[in-house]
Structure formats: C-alpha cells, structure tokens
Amino acid sequence: MFIDGAKINLRAGSGGKGCQSIYRDKYQRQGIPDGGDGGKGADIIIRADHNLLTLLDFQYHRHFFGAHGGHGSSNHKKGRSAEDVIIRVPLGTTIKNSATGSILRDLEVDGDQVIVARGGQGGVGNWHRKEATPGEAGEEKIIELDLKLLADVAVVGFPNAGKSTLISAISNAHPKIAAYPFTTTGPILGVAQGKHRKFVIADIPGLISGASAGRGLGIRFLKHIERTKILIHLVDMAGFEGRDPLEDYKNINLELKNYSWAVYKKPQVICANKMDLPGAAENLKRFKKTVKKTIYPVSALNRQGLEELVDAVAKKI
C-alpha cells in the first residue's frame, strides 16, 4: 500500500535532575557540595532513508517518545544522556509543524536529517555552589509528513492508456496490469536504462478530467509530478472505448495547467501507445496534423519502438 501523508505526535525526553549532595568526612566539618548534573533528554530526529518508499509505517505507529536523561548523583557524577530517537522516512518527505504550518525541512538526500523535537537540558547539581535544579522538559510537537516522490520521469495519461505496461517494459518495475481503468492506485517507481544513462521513472495513477480539482485520484497523486524533470505523455492512439486521442491529449494538458503552471511547463515526450491495434495508424495521422511535435509511436505490449523512446527521454534529462 502506498501512503504519502501522515501526522505523528512527538515528545522529546526531559533532562535529568541535578543532585543535591553534601560530602562530609572527618576532615570536612561543614561539608563540600558534590551533587552532579542531570543528563540531557533524548532528541527526536527525522532522517531520510533511500530504502523506504512509503509512509505506511506511520499509519500504525504515530506516537514517539524520547527517553529522559539520568539524574545526577553524589561525587560529581553526571546523569547519563538519553539516546536520540531516529525516525526514518523516504527521500522526498517534507516535514511541517502542524501548529504553525511552517516547513521544518525538505529531505531530498539520503542521510539528511533534522531535529524536530529537542530534549530538555539536564538540571544543575549543587557542586556549582548553588541549589540543585530539576531538568528541563522535552519539546512536544505534532508533525505532518508529506511525501513527494523523487523521480526523473513521470508517465501521465488517462486510465487504461497502458502506463503500467510501458513502465514494466522499459524498467525493473512490476506494477499490476489489467484491462480495466484505475488498476494502478498508487505511484510506482522503476529504473530504466538508456544508451548513456539510467533514470528513475514513476508510474502515476491515471488522470481524468477534473483531476486538478480533486476528481478521481486527483491532486493526491498529481503532487508526485512536481519533482520530476520530464513527463512522458502517454496517449492511447487506438482510442480505447471510443475515446478520442487528440481530446485526451488536450484534456491531460489542461489538468496539468490547472494544477500548476510549473508542472505544465515541464518538458514532455509524447508517446503514442497501442500502435499494434486497429485504427491506431489512422488516429496517429490525424493527431500529427494538430500536434506539431515529435511523437514516438510504440506498442508497449509487443515491446516495439521502446528503445527510441527511452533514448529520447534519457537525452532530455
């Protein structure tokens, strides 16, 4: 299951208490303060991990607590500082403070991390020649996690245009493939190999008219296109269920434009799929009269024309 949003509750550890202690022996009638300081409470850190692809774990684990620092003791012994809590998230995760709405960090690099809740400082022991103090409380926060996939290329098009078939043919991804719309219900990543370089490609669930306003799977998955460099605009040139390939092409571009001008202006590689089916060749001729751009005719099912398509995409990246 692909989950791209979560809200989690965090409470960092409190600092340990400073110790109130007086050392006395037969040589020290008045005594010497020797209470140690308390240890620091645990920070809560969110770290990007390239091995993760979804925020699914946070559907079941939404509360994170840091351990408290150890208390100081006599003979100037400082309490042990608590070990930090590390929360791992996929690359491309945006971290937002739910209370203020401010973005704390956008984690795009493996190993990048941010302290989201700081543990309390330990209390001061009386060896400093003053009264011992309790430790500070750790921070408490509600954090929103929002995942936008990091891919070089995204495949967009209407449902049943053959996106899953295409990505399974040109990459190492194995999405579910079936002859009905909305087979793909979440983005799927794969790695494709061109002549000169590899690139990461994302299969985005099919868009429909009104997707930018929330229809179908809508905005929930359109956001995953934002970080990509190039779009493969896949058109069903055979006209599945009486569809018009030219109208499909215009409608998808309209939804991209309504969603975000930056997404709409991304470079597109137009791919005419299902060229092995009856009527596709005639539709392509009519399509080319209106769309004066380079078009790559392919049959993803029969793996025809894919090498030229992959090389064209790799050159544009």
Q: What is the pLDDT of residues 83-99, one digit of tens each?
A: 999 999 988 899 999 99
Higher pLDDT, 209 or 284: 284
Q: Residue 315 and residue 230: Cα distance in Å, rounded?
A: 11
Q: What is the pLDDT of residues 17-59, one digit of tens each?
A: 999 999 988 887 788 899 999 999 999 999 999 888 788 889 8
Q: What is the pLDDT of residues 66-82, one digit of tens each?
A: 999 999 999 999 999 99
The reported pLDDT for the residue numbered 213 is 52
The reported pLDDT for the residue numbered 240 is 75
The reported pLDDT for the residue numbered 206 is 62
C-alpha to C-alpha distances, 51 to 70, 111, 268, 294, nearest whole angstrom? 34, 11, 29, 37
Q: Residue 128 and residue 2: Cα distance in Å, rounded?
A: 54
Task: Please give the mean pLDDT across all residues of the chain.
Answer: 86
Which amino acid would we find at residue 213?
A: A
Q: Kindly give the pairing relationship between strand 198-203 and strand 153-156.
A: parallel
The reported pLDDT for the residue numbered 49 is 93
Q: How many other C-beta atoms can be found within 10 angstroms of the C-beta atom of residue 198?
A: 13
Cβ within 8 Å of residue 80, ≥6 positions away: 16, 39, 69, 70
Half-sphere exposure of 296 (CA within 13 A, CB side): 22
Q: What is the pLDDT of residues 104-143, one digit of tens each?
A: 999 989 999 999 999 999 999 999 878 999 999 999 999 9
Q: What is the pLDDT of residues 166-217, one digit of tens each?
A: 888 888 756 444 443 444 446 677 788 777 788 888 887 767 565 555 555 5
Q: Which domains does the chain have, with CATH numbers?
A: 5-147 (2.70.210.12), 153-316 (3.40.50.300)
Residues in the chain: 317
Higher pLDDT, 222 or 59: 59
